[in-house]
Structure 1
Amino acid sequence: MDRTEPVTLTNMCMIVKDKKILVLNRNDPNWPGLTFPGGHVEDHESFYDSVVREVKEETNLTIENPRLCGLKQFYDDNDHRYIVFFYTATKFKGQVKASDEGDLTWMTKQELLNTQLAYNFDRDLLVYFDDKIDEHLLDGARDQLF
């Protein structure tokens, strides 16, 4: 029995400074709205290296010691597994500079929770903000947190 399957690997990072969170207002027509910076893991790239690279590309910041805090998984339109590794970072170098991905804004947690977010991102935030939750699973009609 083959135990492999097609999978897309991605990441997202919540960057925190002085009780404010860096938020990306995505231009992507497939998933527009407020979210955190991140992107795809390249072939043979470590998850750690990919989140550092993606954050640099989208924010101009070089994050230090990003910490894995959870993940989300779902199946895409081709029935391939799609995994998003959730990271947090509190140390970084550089000055924030927006990219083609969208505008960047520093927000408090409360401001973020009271703003229009990208589709289903409110559920992702539960993984970031609740230490008892480390996985968001979307599978058909199921939308579960573990």
Structure 2
Amino acid sequence: MHVFNDINGGRVELTFGENRLGMLARHVLVVLKHNGKWLLTRHSTRGVEFPGGKAEEGESIEEAAIRETIEETGVTISNLVQVAEYVVQSNRTFCKAVFTGQVVEIDEQPLLHETEGALWLTSEELDHCEALSFHMIETGMDIIRKRVEEHEG
């Protein structure tokens, strides 16, 4: 397990596997590479980040990961694998499941929600991106990216 503080001072516990932190995940994050590039989106207020969000009532976290990715990027994914989960302890403690998967389809003109659509960056471009969301500069993101790359290899 990796433990660190996020940019807002909240304690973050990151683990690899499913439901190891004793809290049901209702938030999702999708971290995947396709043809050597990371799938990201540009949120209208936060900046560049991986797609993700919250599961809706009656929706599984896998369904939420697929839906959020489509809504935020226009990219349809399948063959999801949960690679990690983390709990952020703050005034609103929550658990987030981290998924990777495979690209099935890329809609070039999607109907988007809160974002500017898919943004495909190489690792080097992502490392030097100056418009990253505060979520993307947390210690855990480097660890998660490495884990996803290992999973793909």
Could you tell me the TM-score, scaled by structure 1's length? 0.71
Q: 1:107–1:56: structure 2 CA closer, same or farther, 3 Å change rule? A: same
- Map of 1:37 onto structure 2: 51
- Map of 1:130 onto structure 2: 146
SS at match of 2:65: helix
**Distance in 2 (alpha carbons) for counterparts of 1:70 and 1:16:** 16
Query: Of 87, 91, 94, which aligns to 2:103?
Result: 91
The answer to whether the 8 Å contact 2:72/2:114 transfers is yes
Matched-pair identity in %? 21
Structure 1: give runs of 5+ residues left out of the alignment. 1-5, 132-146
- Please state how far the C-alpha of 1:112 moved relative to its aligned partner: 0.4
**Distance in 1 (alpha carbons) for counterparts of 2:141 and 2:111:** 22
The answer to whether the 8 Å contact 1:20/1:109 transfers is yes
- Say if 2:78 is the partner of 1:64: yes
- Please state how far the C-alpha of 1:109 moved relative to its aligned partner: 1.0
- Please state how far the C-alpha of 1:8 moved relative to its aligned partner: 7.3
- Map of 1:142 onto structure 2: none
SS at match of 2:77: strand
**Distance in 2 (alpha carbons) for counterparts of 1:67 and 1:110:** 25
The answer to whether the 8 Å contact 1:12/1:84 transfers is yes
- Please state how far the C-alpha of 1:53 moved relative to its aligned partner: 1.2
Number of equivalent positions: 123
- Please state how far the C-alpha of 1:62 moved relative to its aligned partner: 1.7
Q: 1:94–1:124: structure 2 CA closer, same or farther, 3 Å change rule? A: same
The structure richer in helix per residue is 2
- Please state how far the C-alpha of 1:47 moved relative to its aligned partner: 1.1
The answer to whether the 8 Å contact 2:32/2:39 transfers is yes
- Map of 1:119 onto structure 2: 134
- Please state how far the C-alpha of 1:120 moved relative to its aligned partner: 4.2
SS at match of 1:43: coil
Q: Which moved more, 1:105-114 or 1:80-89?
A: 80-89
The answer to whether the 8 Å contact 1:72/1:124 transfers is no
The answer to whether the 8 Å contact 1:10/1:39 transfers is yes
- For the aligned residue pairs, the C-alpha RMSD in angstroms reads 2.6
- Say if 2:61 is the partner of 1:47: yes
Structure 2: give runs of 5+ residues left out of the alignment. 1-22, 148-153
Could you tell me the TM-score, scaled by structure 2's length? 0.68
The answer to whether the 8 Å contact 2:30/2:99 transfers is yes
**Distance in 2 (alpha carbons) for counterparts of 1:111 and 1:119:** 17
